[in-house]
């Protein structure tokens, strides 16, 4: 029996499982050197994957768009993810699957000559907002940093090209905000580091249509809104519309539905999470126990 300590998480790399602290990417892998990779994150909540099929579908689609090959069948990927969760003994987990470009022969700049590398890991569930922020709302700053345009890097393929979001986030944190949302060249907000954004205006949800990752949590929110009878407009969202919204919230695998109560120093609504936000949030977590959306981990 292995004496490896998986208590802080488990990873799969190079055909074997290792404790998360031992997981690594070679220095010369283009995934490290050039952010040349595709990935996806699925969560486990109370012992079951949430919407695993959609995450796996998006991961494989991202790989195709970036011309990366995980070298594993969908079922093999699911088995690896499940084993990472089981080895770590996690009931609630943040589970990532990724493919890096690998390394072409020395001297070659031809990415076709690289051998792509699949990896995966599971760690305890990740919240991108603390308990106080989840209860009373986040302070979001609209960044002056523009998001990488879709013509340069396809945002619908999940990737690690985050320098624009990192610079925007640093500015926001320095200014006292909790997080940041970037905008496009037309002044419309698009997305932030690891989340999509929604505004509530006149009883309708509005979420950006272009320049964003089509988040699985975002999709879930749209479906929940349909169940609740709340109309959804998927369109451009000018920054000023966000600042003057009745309510606002973020959607992310790292916390689900996260209320926003301040944008650029302006209070949203009455400064507390709004009624529609609360209804969507409650149903989001209720859906985690719906068999149609969950895949139990066989511990």
- Please state, for a pLDDT cut of 70, what percent of the chain lies above it: 99
Cα separation, 97 vs 56, whole angstroms: 9
In this prediction, residue 3 has a pLDDT band, given cuts at 50, 70 and 90, of confident
Q: How confident is the model over 162-170, as a mean pLDDT?
A: 97
CB crowding 106-118: b at 16 or more within 10 Å, else e: eeeeebeebebbb
Model-wide pTM > 0.85: yes
152 close to 139: Cβ distance less than 8 angstroms: no
Mean pLDDT of the chain: 97
Q: How confident is the model over 8-15, as a mean pLDDT?
A: 97
Query: Residue 73, Cβ neighbours under 10 Å: how many?
Result: 9
What pLDDT, on a 0 to 100 scale, did the predictor assign at position 149? 96
Domain ranges of the chain: 10-124, 131-288
Query: Which residues share a beta bridge with 267?
Result: 262
DSSP per residue over 165-187, as a string?
HHHHHHHHHHTT-SEEEEE-TTS
Q: How confident is the model over 72-82, as a mean pLDDT?
A: 98
Using one digit for the tens of pLDDT, what is the confidence trace for 127-152? 999 999 999 999 999 999 999 999 99
* φ, ψ for residue 168, nearest 5 deg: -65, -40
Q: How confident is the model over 94-115, as a mean pLDDT?
A: 97
CATH topology for 131-288?
D-amino Acid Aminotransferase; Chain A, domain 2 (3.20.10)
Please determine, for residue 19, whether its predicted confidence score (pLDDT) is greater than 70.
yes
What pLDDT, on a 0 to 100 scale, did the predictor assign at position 78? 98
Cα–Cα distances in Å, from 92 out to 42, 140, 240, 288? 11, 27, 37, 12
What pLDDT, on a 0 to 100 scale, did the predictor assign at position 47? 98
What pLDDT, on a 0 to 100 scale, did the predictor assign at position 245? 98
Q: How confident is the model over 21-48, as a mean pLDDT?
A: 97
Q: How confident is the model over 12-35, as a mean pLDDT?
A: 97
What pLDDT, on a 0 to 100 scale, did the predictor assign at position 1? 42
What is the CATH number that goes with domain 10-124? 3.30.470.10
Q: How confident is the model over 217-221, as a mean pLDDT?
A: 98
Cα separation, 187 vs 169, whole angstroms: 17
């Amino acid at each position: 029996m292995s004496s490896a300590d998986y208590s802080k998480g488990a990873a799969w790399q190079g055909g074997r499982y290792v404790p998360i602290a031992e997981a690594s990417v070679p220095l010369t892998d283009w995934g490290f050197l050039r952010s040349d990779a595709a990935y996806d994150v699925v969560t486990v909540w109370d012992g079951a994957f949430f919407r695993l099929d959609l995450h796996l579908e998006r991961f494989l689609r991202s790989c195709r768009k970036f011309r990366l090959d995980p070298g594993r069948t969908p079922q093999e990927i699911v088995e690896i993810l499940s084993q990472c969760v089981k080895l770590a003994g996690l009931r609630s987990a943040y589970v990532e699957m990724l493919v890096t470009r690998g390394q072409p022969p020395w001297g070659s700049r031809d990415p076709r000559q690289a051998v792509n590398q699949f990896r995966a890991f599971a760690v305890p569930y990740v919240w991108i907002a603390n308990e106080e922020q989840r209860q009373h709302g986040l302070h979001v700053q609209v960044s002056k940093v523009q998001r990488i345009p879709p013509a340069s890097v396809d945002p619908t393929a999940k990737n690690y090209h985050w320098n624009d979001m990192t610079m925007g986030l640093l500015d926001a944190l320095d200014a006292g905000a909790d997080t940041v949302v970037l905008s496009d060249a037309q002044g419309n907000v698009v997305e932030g580091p690891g989340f999509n954004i929604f505004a509530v205006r006149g009883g309708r949800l509005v979420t950006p249509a272009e320049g964003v990752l089509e988040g699985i949590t975002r999709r879930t929110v749209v479906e929940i809104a349909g169940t609740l009878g709340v109309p959804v407009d998927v369109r451009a969202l000018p920054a000023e519309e966000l600042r003057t919204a009745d309510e606002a919230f973020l959607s992310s695998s790292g916390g689900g539905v996260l209320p926003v109560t301040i944008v650029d120093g302006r209070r949203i609504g009455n400064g507390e999470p709004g009624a529609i936000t609360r209804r969507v949030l409650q149903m989001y977590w209720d859906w985690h126990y719906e068999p149609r959306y969950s895949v139990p981990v066989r511990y």
